[in-house]
Amino acid sequence: MKTKFNDNDILRFLHDEMLEEESTLFLDALTEDENLWERYEYFQLTTDQINTLSFEPSVASVQAVMEVVKEEGKASKRKFRIRKLTSSPISVGLAAASFLTLFMFARLGNNIQQAKSQEVMLDFEPLPVPTLVHEVRIESHQQTDISWNAQDLNQKLDQIKQKAQSLSDDPLL
């Protein structure tokens, strides 16, 4: 370990950049070496003077920085949320399930539409002309009771039952 110290050593000591052991030796040298002490005193006083200097940024500058921090923070939080939502396995599963549900509904809607149009087709098969059963006329009010032939009605009922059966067998319904 050296015992002769120069200006660079004084600066390292002043700025706490000396190892403990070296500092002890330096302090010993300071008490013995008058020339070293004089130089140390000059550097210490000048350093102290320099350290008194400090400048503050304006309040406006600090506020401007914090504005940016907050604004960009909000934006990045939104991005983060979206990213988090789209990247988690649960959300991917949810999205897939939603897509599948929508697809099922679309197919179901399509099937119902087809079934309805078939039913409409069935409905368009005209029944025989109904039989007039009873007619009452009281002043302005008129009431008419009509009736179909029982065989025609049973036939129609069978058709409807068959159609209902075919629809209930459809796995998508």
Partner 1 sequence: MDKALNKTQDRDLIKGFMKGNDRCFEVLLSKYKTKVFTTIYLIVKDRSIAEDLFQEVMIKVVRMIRSGKYNEEGKFLPWVVRIARNLAIDHFRKVQRNPIQHESEDYDIFNTIPRSEGSAEDKIISEENTRYIKELIQQLPDKQREVLIMRSYADLSFKEIASLTDVSINTALGRMRYALLNLKKLAQEKSVPQSYENKVQR
Stretch that binds partner 1, among 72-80, 96-104, 111-119, 126-134 (CB under 8 A): 72-80
For residue 123, which of 115, 131, 134 has the smallest C-alpha distance? 115
Q: Which is nearer to partner 1, 46 or 149 (CB)?
A: 46
Residue 20 corresponds to which tokens in the numbers above?
A: 């403990």
Instruction: Using alpha carbons only, give the angle 46, 50, 52 rounded to the nearest 5 degrees.
Output: 120
Check residue 51 for interaction with partner 1 (CB under 8 A).
yes
Q: Which is nearer to partner 1, 42 or 103 (CB)?
A: 42
Check residue 61 for interaction with partner 1 (CB under 8 A).
yes
Q: Which is nearer to partner 1, 65 or 132 (CB)?
A: 65
> Residue 119 burial by CB count (10 A; 0-12/13-18/19+): exposed, middle or buried?
middle
For residue 107, which of 172, 34, 25 has the smallest C-alpha distance? 172
Q: Which helix (H) or strand (E) segment is 133 a member of?
A: strand 131-138
Site for partner 1 in 74-133 (CB under 8 A): 76-77, 80
Q: Which is nearer to partner 1, 7 or 158 (CB)?
A: 7
Residues found near partner 1 in the complex (CB under 8 A): 7-8, 11-12, 15, 17, 41-43, 45-58, 60-62, 64-66, 68-70, 72-73, 76-77, 80
